[in-house]
Amino acid sequence: MTTLIDLAGHMAAEPAADAAVKDVVAVIAQACVQISRVVASGAISGSLGAAGQINVQDEEQKKLDIITNDILRDALKACPAVAGLASEELEEIETTGREGGFLVTFDPLDGSSNIDVNVSVGTIFSILPAPAAGVPTEADFLLPGRRQVAAGYVVYGPQTMLVLTLADGVAGFTLDADGAWRLTHPDIAIPADTAEFAINMSNQRHWAAPVRAYIDGCLAGKDGPRGKNFNMRWVASMVADVHRIAMRGGVFMYPWDAREPDKPGKLRLLYEANPMSLIVERAGGKSTLDGVTPILDVQPTKLHQRVPVVLGSANEVDRVGAG
């Protein structure tokens, strides 16, 4: 019998966080238990493969994208503290008919390209204040990331883990066999230095000069300007790459590249970059557009807005920004 406290016990001990926020987190956490089961069932449940339709991101939807989106959407629509939601998989926002409370943005299953080959994927969520009165509109979702009242992700990997920030600090929970989230990482902190970078190297010829210079410096190893060897990781699942950085440090980069010059980056601001940035900053790391500009200060202009991302160990992010 474990002596580890569960999510409810941890949140009860967080006096600074609003009780209604905790209710929303509890609803999302429970929905992610259901998601972990359908993800784990894979081919047995017939949930792998393409859904045969394109989403608002102009990406081929997987069956699990839709299944997991519906699980979260249904759970949030039934939550009294939720006034509206926005999803990577939904073109428009959806309202619940309730006023006040909170807005939730989410990527129900990040890392879709990994689903059918059994590599870790994840759910990312962000909780924002809803307007005090009235039915929320899309404009009400366009708040800078510093306005988030909570954020988190679940990584469906060798362990299923929930990583959460409420009023302050970052805590990690491991899903137990009985369906409880057990507090296994009470105070996650990202080391300021690292020797590990995460970027999709196949895009190297398309990067801007500062990114190429930074990566070239890492690749030059101990005989180069950095005076040390670097390791590289790229899971192609932001949740998995960010979780590794939360556990042992590192720098993650999805920069602008010349393949589609009008696209500032691949990752979405409201339900990927902002929640991950709140977690990374609260864990002592940095999360920026370019090594300098904090993502949490960006004023969103569109619901599915994309941004470049450079996040992770603070001293390494600073070095990217130094050019």
For residue 171, the minimal CB distance to ligand P6P (Å) is: 22
How far is residue 244's CA from residue 12's CA, in Å, rounded to a whole number? 28
What character string, x for contact with ligand P6P (CB under 6 A) and - otherwise, covers 111-130? xxx-----------------
Tokens of 123: 């759910």
For residue 157, the one-letter residue type is G
Binding residue for ligand P6P (CB under 6 A) from 159, 200, 229, 231? 200
Nearer to ligand P6P, 24 or 253 (CB): 253
Q: Are β-strands 82-87 and 102-110 bridged in parallel, bridged antiparallel, or unpaired?
A: parallel
What character string, x for contact with ligand P6P (CB under 6 A) and - otherwise, covers 245-264? ---------x----------
Binding region for ligand P6P (CB under 6 A) out of 23-31, 41-49, 180-188, 236-244: 236-244
C-alpha distances (whole Å) from 258 to each of 266, 297, 305, 320 are: 12, 25, 18, 19
Binding region for ligand P6P (CB under 6 A) out of 107-115, 135-143, 156-164, 285-293: 107-115
For residue 130, the minimal CB distance to ligand P6P (Å) is: 27
How far is residue 66's CA from residue 29's CA, in Å, rounded to a whole number? 18
Nearest to 105 by CA among 133, 80, 136: 136
Binding region for ligand P6P (CB under 6 A) out of 105-113, 180-188, 256-264, 288-296: 105-113
Nearer to ligand P6P, 43 or 236 (CB): 236
Query: What ranges in the chain are assigned the alpha helix state H?
Result: 7-12, 19-41, 63-77, 138-141, 209-219, 238-248, 274-282, 314-322
The binding site for ligand P6P (CB under 6 A) comprises 110-113, 200, 236-238, 254, 266-267
